[in-house]
């Protein structure tokens, strides 16, 4: 072997070693960048068709966007140490009661001090005295100081009107869009004075028409007083939502925004 050949072989060996080290580093980085999402849902009841459709969509989205999902059907495992492992909590139609005291405290710390992010849907604002459980006042304040009053039990299509088009969750959406067959909740008051409203529902657009109305009716909002990124969607009853491009866009945008470092 002459000197030139030996020299070239040395360069190639060095390049291979560097490439291998870079690939290993890249693989390790990819592994550590996998985000963890906790989904809390009831696992039964009238919202199960929506939850099943949402979980099917979520698992597919997680595979495409480098995050893992843990699903819980009750709040008993939730402690401060447990929540430390999660970058995002999705309250997927799980109510604001039945939580053990220690789980409430851990969740309050998670939201108030902001180590992660939060997305809530629909049943999360069933606030009041229900099923023998008292009002969780902190959660009511988190949601804008509201108490549940009524809902469109028969469900209705409704037109959502965007107020904050600049919010990342609204990316790719028009100023108005229709969502099908939802239980539009009403509350004892509008949360608007205590939250940042991103969108409202046009109560004149309900089809079929309904006398269950609220007046000023926010349906997407965030509480900027909390350190955790957070957003709440008042709708989330019908599995048809997962066949609705506007809803799927909202859900994906919310996850991307919540998990962005």
CA atoms within 13 A on the CB side of 22: 6
For residues 226 and 230, give the distance between their C-alpha atoms in angstroms, rounded to a whole number: 8
DSSP string for residues in 59-109: HHHHHHHTEEEEEESSSTT--HHHHTT-SEEEEES--S-S--HHHHHHHHH
Q: What is the pLDDT of residue 3?
A: 56
Token digits of residue 146: 């509201």
Q: What is the pLDDT of residue 25?
A: 39
3-class SS letters over 230-242? EEEECCCCCHHHH
For residues 18 and 11, give the distance between their C-alpha atoms in angstroms, rounded to a whole number: 11
For residues 157 and 13, give the distance between their C-alpha atoms in angstroms, rounded to a whole number: 65
Q: What is the pLDDT of residue 20?
A: 47
Task: Give pLDDT tens digits along the chain (261 positions).
Answer: 555 454 444 454 444 444 544 444 344 434 457 999 999 999 888 999 999 999 999 999 999 999 999 999 999 999 999 999 999 999 999 999 999 999 999 999 999 999 899 999 999 999 999 999 999 999 999 999 999 999 999 999 999 999 999 999 999 999 999 999 999 999 999 999 999 999 999 999 999 999 999 999 999 999 999 999 999 999 999 999 999 999 999 999 999 999 997
For residues 216 and 63, give the distance between their C-alpha atoms in angstroms, rounded to a whole number: 39
For residues 228 and 109, give the distance between their C-alpha atoms in angstroms, rounded to a whole number: 10
For the chain, where are the alpha helices, taking DSSP H only?
3-32, 48-65, 80-83, 101-113, 137-142, 245-259
Q: What is the pLDDT of residue 13?
A: 47
pTM here is 0.88
Residue 24, number of CB atoms within 10 A of its CB:
10
Q: What is the pLDDT of residue 253?
A: 98
Q: What is the pLDDT of residue 127?
A: 98
For residues 127 and 120, give the distance between their C-alpha atoms in angstroms, rounded to a whole number: 13
Q: What is the pLDDT of residue 33?
A: 78
Q: What is the pLDDT of residue 32?
A: 54
């Amino acid at each position: 072997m002459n000197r030139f050949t030996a020299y070239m072989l040395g360069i190639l060996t060095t390049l291979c070693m560097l490439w291998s080290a870079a690939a290993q580093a890249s693989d390790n980085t990819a592994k550590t960048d996998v985000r963890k999402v906790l989904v809390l849902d009831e696992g039964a009841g009238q919202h199960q068709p929506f939850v099943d459709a949402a979980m099917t969509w979520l698992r597919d989205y997680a595979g495409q966007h480098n995050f893992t999902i843990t699903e819980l059907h009750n709040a008993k495992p939730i402690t401060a140490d447990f929540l430390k492992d999660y970058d995002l909590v999705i309250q997927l139609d799980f109510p604001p009661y039945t939580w053990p005291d220690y789980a409430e405290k851990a969740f309050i710390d998670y939201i108030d001090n902001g180590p992660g992010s939060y997305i809530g849907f629909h049943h999360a604002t069933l606030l009041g005295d229900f099923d023998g459980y008292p009002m969780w006042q902190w959660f009511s304040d988190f949601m804008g100081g509201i108490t549940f009053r009524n809902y469109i039990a028969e469900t209705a299509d409704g037109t959502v009107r965007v107020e904050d088009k600049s919010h990342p969750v609204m990316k790719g959406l028009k100023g108005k869009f229709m969502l099908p067959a939802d239980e539009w909740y009403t509350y004892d008051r509008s949360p608007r004075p205590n939250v940042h409203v991103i969108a409202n529902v046009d109560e004149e657009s309900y089809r079929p028409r309904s006398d269950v109305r609220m007046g000023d009716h926010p349906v997407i909002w965030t509480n900027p007083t909390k350190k955790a990124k957070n957003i709440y969607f008042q709708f989330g009853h019908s599995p048809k939502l997962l066949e609705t491009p506007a809803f799927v866009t909202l859900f994906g945008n919310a996850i991307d925004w919540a998990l962005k470092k």
